[in-house]
Amino acid sequence: MAETMIACPDGSFGAYLATPKALAPGKAAPGILVIQEIFGVNKVMRDLCDGYAAQGYVALCPDIFWRQEPGIQLTDKTEAEWKRGFELYQGFNEAKGVQDLISSLDHLRKQPACSGKAGSVGYCLGGKLAYLMATRSNADCNVSYYGGGIENLLNEASAITKPLLMHIAAEDKYQPKDEQEKIKAALGRNSGVTIHVYAGCDHAFARVGGQAWNAAAAKQANDRTAQFFKKHLA
């Protein structure tokens, strides 16, 4: 596992790269672009990349907060870290962030171990950005975990042409049920979009050890994600 630098039109930024350990000589693996939460490319994100690499993917998690504070790594354990995370979220330039992710996807596809086929998966803020990767990029497939704010971007839904899997927390404190219904109504008409709602779960239910972690729901969501990537990337 290693750090790598990604070039974009207005600079360069770091990313965490994890590759499968058991690739046969001359073989390549599909790629997964892992999109961070509001806490940066922290241990949770690096562990996710390592987990995807163990499943046989080249996983790349770029630092999308680099314009504000390169290399930020927070946890969800203290009020001060939550405050800083929300500050970074509020100062985040979404349009430039998506362009950074598109540059990251291109960088991922060019990795020697990558076959060129690649999708994305995002959590929290990253879940919203994974939706935007479905509408604005040529990623082969995309997975969104509890992405907040998608209800305000449904005017882009018609641009989705590749498979999209969405995990929604029924009791998400950042996404009221009426907003969830808007998402389901707008995207349910697209046969390429699959939406799962997890009863009794709050935002970030799949963050291992997090405040809202739900082991059973997380396993179900992660198993569905694994099958989705296996179907559309492997």
Has 107 been annotated as catalytic?
no
Q: Are 3 and 16 in contact (CB under 8 A)?
A: yes
3-class secondary structure, 186: helix
**From 63, 76, 140, 172, the catalytic residue:** 172
Has 10 been annotated as catalytic?
no
**From 100, 140, 202, 203, the catalytic residue:** 203
Q: How far apart are the C-alpha atoms of 183 and 11, rounded to whole Å? A: 35
Backbone angles phi, psi at 81, to 5 degrees: -70, -40
Tokens of 91: 């100062």
Q: How far apart are the C-alpha atoms of 114 and 30, rounded to whole Å? A: 5
Q: How far apart are the C-alpha atoms of 31 and 21, rounded to whole Å? A: 14
Question: Active-site positions?
Answer: 172, 203
